A and B are shown apart, each in its own frame.
Chain A
Amino acid sequence: MVNIQEKISKICPSATFEEGQHLLVTVPDKDWYQLAKALKEDADLNFDVLSALVGMDWKDSLGCLYYLTSTKNDWQMLTVKVATEDRQNPMLHSVSDLWKVALFQEREVYDFYGIKFINHPDMRRFFLRNDWVGHPLRKDYDANPELNPIRLTDEADEDKTCSYVEENGKIKKVEGRVFGEDEYVVNFGPQHPSTHGVMRFRTAIDGEVIKKVDVVSGYIHRGIEKLCEDLTYPQTLHFTDRMDYMSAHMNRHCLCMCIEKAMGLEIPRRAQVIRVMMDELMRISSHLLSFGCMTMDLGATTAFFYGFREREQVLDIFDKTCGARMSMNYNVIGGVVADLHPDFVKDVKALCAIMPKRLEEYHKLFTGNIIGQNRTKGVGVLSKEDAINYAITGPSGRASGFACDCRKRHPYAIYNELNFNEVVMTEGDSFARYLLRLKEIEESVKILEQLVDRIPEGEIRAQVPKIIKLPAGRWYQQVEASRGVFGVFIESDGNKNPYRVHFQSPCFNLVGVMDVCCKDHLIADLITIGAALDFVIPDIDR
């Protein structure tokens, strides 16, 4: 850590440092871009992944926290804080040309906090309507429903955008358009059966070939982060189940771990094992659903029924132990809420026993199908550099050769004791993503087989105080969810409710590469690419 600190103070003498979970560097905005460039490009530092970008309102100032990861330096993390005191017209320098993932992340911050990013090419709102009044995550936001009634009229000015350009030390607003004057734009969604929810893509096409994809999100933006600020820590837990409902256990595991880490709580071994087993079961069910939905989107309806047949078996296991098929609400701070059902071991063994045979069946049904292969091979190729630059993790990142499995890179719970392979492929196309998911099911089964006979006896929950208060500070925790690395950021001021909670969802980044992946493909491939990336919309919108 000292090395980095010295290095940074050499590049940017105005930086101040603060020790914590990760080293926190505070830089003034005028030096930020220069430092960011050095952080990314310097051979010793090499922070090539922007893992999370958290907008913040510290009351006296507005700003951002950047969580950077270096894939070359042992996945070391660094936090950078940049703030501005101007509340009327806050501006920060954009880093979207260094880390492309910031293109959408900064738009999110602009939407929530009104911070304008200088040199960002497309400064539009991301989640809320164009005509929304105010920036909701600011602490002084006026929540009066009369300011923002339910509008049943369509949004105006959808094509207009703007950017703030710095010229000779002065900042100028430049109006622009999303699409060119004579581009032919076809609208997809928000109500479209193959967008897997309410997602909207506006595509500029030339004949049948896609030239540009403009993502319009926010059709299921529920303001979870703001809601969390008014709730106590145990009350915030249930939201995670409803964001990426296909990674409910992992998401909740992550939030629980983040809170437990802040409290310094030790989790009983039994609870750890149960949590990991549930995570892997969830991963199987999620990948089965992606298999079913992707094949159905490509027209293979039969495969959908096969995928769902096994998924029901997993859901039965959840149903017996957690009491619900979906939105299980199983993890709690300190452990899990209920002990395992007596049938659990038997059911998991039965699942592990049939899964290899079923996977063979899937391969027979779809993998070898020549129509399926023609529609997926070479479609939506994402290079490794782009995957890293856009922070694409999970199966989609690994299909591009980016070995980013959080279970291996930042092992949590008991993952470092387990024997499983990180599946990595290099093709980076839709077929690789599809195949990789099926292979990951095999790995998850392997993990379950290792644990199912070794569930230790003991407590399922640690003793936690009735009122949970976190010490002042900030924490960031990551887990490997079904679709990539899911992160939870908590900043506490010592009260019983969080000062700020941010969920860094993998799907948010996934949707960011739609434009990159779809370019120069046919419009029919948009569905394939979307299905293979497999984003869950409520996870994007939160």
Chain B
Amino acid sequence: MKREDFKDNEYIDQLVEELNATGANVVVGKLDELLNWSISNSLWPLCFGTSCCAIEFMCLGAARYDMARFGFEVARNSPRQADYIMVQGTIVHRMAPVMRRLYEQLAEPKYIIACGGCAVSGGPFKKSYCVVKGVDEILPVDVYVPGCPPRPEAMFYGLMQLQRKIKVQKFFGGVNRKEKIADFFANHPEMEGQM
């Protein structure tokens, strides 16, 4: 997809600006570029789904939508081998500690996509007594994909946004990613205390 085909470019632009402002030397910059290129084209998801969105994700894996075109096809069963979790479906109170543990088990660099209304905000179950109102209450989220469930095309859009985000990351000479997780705990002190 071309740049103008994406709807929200401001966020990526802002990341690029930050990256430019801090500066990097040629060698480190090139290494970063190589690393980002390889990570973003071989993103392995964790087989994780609690409800309807997971079925649409299966369609993504089947022949018609074929996520292998983008390098997402190696769905892993263990979080230790996966790069990102696409949270598909509602996260409820009983699931929250499990979700959290899965996140801890992912190897760095790790990403979270909140897929579908439930993962974004609690969706139609927002008023329920035991639903987590958006997975971002317990985890730092990178990309939000709204929909109930999102169409496979929307999921691809979200995944490609994640690819773009990864492409402006910095690993060598200062990591711009870990800070975000630290920020998350700073904003949610009650969560850190519980771990």
Task: Show the binding face of A for B, using Cβ within 8 Å.
Answer: 127-129, 132, 136, 141, 143, 148-155, 190-193, 197-198, 218-224, 226-227, 230, 238-239, 242, 245-246, 289, 292-293, 304-305, 308-309, 311-312, 315, 325-327, 537-538
Contacts and interface: CB of A to CB of B under 8 A. Distances in A.
A152 B52 CA distance: 24
Given A148-B93, A190-B98, A223-B128, A325 B56 contact: yes
A292 B59 CA distance: 11
A197 B96 contact: no
28 contacts: A136-B129, A149-B190, A150-B132, A152-B97, A152-B138, A152-B191, A155-B94, A190-B95, A191-B48, A218-B94, A219-B94, A219-B95, A220-B51, A221-B92, A223-B125, A224-B128, A238-B124, A292-B62, A304-B62, A308-B58, A308-B59, A308-B62, A309-B63, A312-B59, A315-B59, A325-B56, A327-B148, A538-B50
B50 to A, nearest CB: 5
B158 interface: no
Of the candidates B47, B48, B128, B138, the one having the most CB atoms from chain A within 10 angstroms of its own CB is B128
A151 B97 contact: yes
Contacts of B64: 308-309, 312
Given A128-B130, A220-B89, A315-B59, 5 more contacts: A128-B94, A154-B97, A222-B90, A309-B62, A327-B148
A236 B27 CA distance: 59
Interface in B23-57: 47-52, 54-56
B102 interface: yes
> By DSSP majority rule, is chain B's interface helix, strand, loop, or mixed?
loop
B155 to A, nearest CB: 12
B95 A148 contact: no
Contact of A193 (B47, B55, B59, B132): B47
B52 A538 contact: yes
Contacts of A312: 59, 62, 64
Q: 4 tightest A-B contacts by CB?
A: A308-B62, A223-B128, A193-B47, A152-B194
A257 B129 CA distance: 28
Interface in B158-195: 190-191, 194-195
Contacts of A230: 127
B136 interface: no
Nearest to A221: B92
A221 B191 contact: no
Contacts of A223: 125, 128-131
Nearest to B48: A191
A238 B92 CA distance: 19
B151 interface: yes
Contacts of B124: 238-239, 242
Contact of A129 (B49, B94, B138): B94
A161 B61 CA distance: 42
B130 A136 contact: yes
B148 A129 contact: no
Contacts of A197: 49-51, 54
Q: How large is the interface on B (under 10, 10 to 19, 20 to 34, 35 or more residues)?
A: 35 or more
Given A129-B94, A190-B95, A221-B130, A325 B151 contact: yes
Contacts of A226: 128-129
B137 interface: yes
Contacts of B89: 220, 538
A537 B92 CA distance: 13
Nearest to B194: A152
A224 B94 contact: no
A147 B79 CA distance: 32
Nearest to A248: B52
A148 B194 contact: no
Contacts of A192: 77
A227 B62 CA distance: 35
B62 A305 contact: yes
Contacts of B190: 149
Contacts of A326: 52, 55-56, 149
Contacts of A129: 93-94
Interface string B107-120: 00000000000000
Contacts of A220: 50-51, 89-90, 92, 95
Contact of B55 (A127, A190, A289): A289
Contact of A151 (B59, B79, B96): B96
Nearest to B190: A149
A127 B149 CA distance: 24
A143 B102 CA distance: 28
